[in-house]
Amino acid sequence: MKPGNDLRARNHPAYWAFLVHRISGLALAVFLPLHFWALGHALAGAGRLEAFLRWTDQPLVKFAEWGMVVLLAAHFAGGLRILALEFLAWREWQKKLVAVAAAFSLAYALAYALALL
């Protein structure tokens, strides 16, 4: 492979936005089959689902759930930014879009954490 760039070239907001979007997407892609499988427990009746939900009451699991939901919020916000960039081509608004997406993700992370505690 040809010599590529290192962190010094990648250190700007739009690139961080890409990284967050891609990594959150990867994590969600891994998580989704598990999420569907867990909810499928409901097929075996409310009792089976309830037993599973009690397992998720552990603090570590709750923290992981919070993490997944925040990743979803980040992926969603970043995705809206991409849709805006590709369909609206607002050059002057680029950096503002990153900030808006980050702000939304942060706000949601806090809201969800508050709901949990």
- Contacts with other proteins, residue ranges (CB under 8 A): 1-10, 12, 14-15, 18, 22, 25-26, 28-29, 32-33, 35-43, 46-47, 49-50, 53, 56, 69, 72-73, 76, 79-80, 82-83, 85-87, 89, 91, 94, 108, 111-112, 115-116
- Cβ–Cβ under 8 Å, residues 112 and 93: no
> Alpha carbon of 21 to those of 12, 54, 56, 73, 95: distances in Å?
15, 31, 26, 10, 15
CB of 108 to other proteins, least distance (A): 6
Return the closest-CA partner of residue 51 out of 64, 61, 63, 42.
Answer: 42
**Shortest distance (Å) from residue 102 CB to other proteins:** 15
Please report how close the Cβ of residue 59 comes to other proteins at its closest, in angstroms.
14
Q: Which residue has the tokens 């081509």?
A: 89
| Least separation in angstroms between CB 115 and other proteins | 5
Taking the least distance from each CB to other proteins, the nearer of 106 and 112 is: 112
Closest CB to other proteins among 1 and 60? 1
Task: List strand residue ranges (DSSP E) for the chain, in order.
Answer: none
Residues 56, 34 contacting (CB under 8 angstroms): no
